[in-house]
Amino acid sequence: MTEDEFDAFYAAAFPRLTGQLFAFTGDRGEAQDVVQEAFVRAWDRRHGLQADGAPEAWVRTVAMRLAVSRWRRARRWLELVRHSAMPETTPGPGPERTALVAALRELPEHQRMAIVLHHLCDLSVEQVASETGAPVGTVKVRLSRGRAALAKQLAVDEAEEPAWREGGRVG
């Protein structure tokens, strides 16, 4: 991958990846940071990425792992500061407070990642399993539970007009 090719890839993929990472993190600044960092790391591996044929997937995976790592660090730090355990899920800070974002924030980390990869990034269940390192059955369970939790949250927040209704089928 030449410099020009990398620049073109960066310009085209960065906004798209930032949007996907926003759905995952709930924070646009955080999404930009992790995507930026993933692209810096991608430059060193540009030849291998081109050979793999899926550079955007690689950058997205790295960015998501970075986001997870940052969440965990932040949670540990907050636990230390507050001297108390954090809630099970970690809502990321951000100006966007849409119902869907708020509901996504309530999801456990694994469920949120599965939902975003499968329903937003259009990865199959097998691909999600490959990316997350979890068995296919586990991914299916996570997707099902995640959708159920989202439906419940959105039903509570937007009882009159929910953003979507659970009724789809994984696969």
Partner 1 sequence: MSDELATALHELAEANQAPPPLPAAEVRTRARRRSRRRRTTVRLGLATSVAGMLATIGLTVHAEEPGRDPRAPAGSATIGTSTSSPRAPGAATGRPPGTEEAVLDLGRHTLTFDGRVMRVDPHPSGTLLSPGRELTVRAKHEVMLLRSDGRAGNRRGAEVPYVVELRTGDRPPVYAGALVPDTRSLGAPGARTGWLGLGIDDARWFYTRIRRGEHVEIVSPAAPATPAPGPDPADGPDPETGTATSRPPA
Instruction: Determine the Cα–Cα distance for residues 92 and 26; give it in Å rounded to an integer.
Output: 6
| Cβ distance to partner 1 smaller for residue 34 or 68 | 34
Cβ count near 19 (within 10 Å) = 14
Instruction: Determine the Cα–Cα distance for residues 163 and 151; give it in Å rounded to an integer.
Output: 9
Residue 165 φ/ψ region, left for φ over 0, alpha for ψ in the -120 to 50 degree band, beta for the rest: beta
CA 10 to chain CA centroid, nearest Å: 19
| Cβ distance to partner 1 smaller for residue 16 or 76 | 16
Crossing angle, helix 99-106 and helix 3-25, to 10 degrees?
A: 80
- Return the structure tokens found at 29: 């600044």
Give the nearest distance from C-beta 167 to partner 1 in angstroms: 7
Applying the rule CB under 8 A, the residues between 39 and 98 that interact with partner 1 are: 39-41, 43-44, 96, 98
| Cβ distance to partner 1 smaller for residue 82 or 171 | 171
| Binding region for partner 1 (CB under 8 A) out of 28-36, 49-57, 67-75, 132-140 | 28-36
Check residue 164 for interaction with partner 1 (CB under 8 A): yes
| Cβ distance to partner 1 smaller for residue 53 or 171 | 171
Check residue 142 for interaction with partner 1 (CB under 8 A): no
- Cα angle for residues 42, 48, 16 (degrees, 5° grid): 45
* Structure-token match 């636990």, residue found: 79
Residue type, 151: A
Give the nearest distance from C-beta 80 to partner 1 in angstroms: 29
Check residue 114 for interaction with partner 1 (CB under 8 A): no
| Binding region for partner 1 (CB under 8 A) out of 12-20, 61-69, 82-90, 131-139 | 12-20
The size of the interface with partner 1 (CB under 8 A), counted in residues, is 43
| Cβ distance to partner 1 smaller for residue 133 or 171 | 171
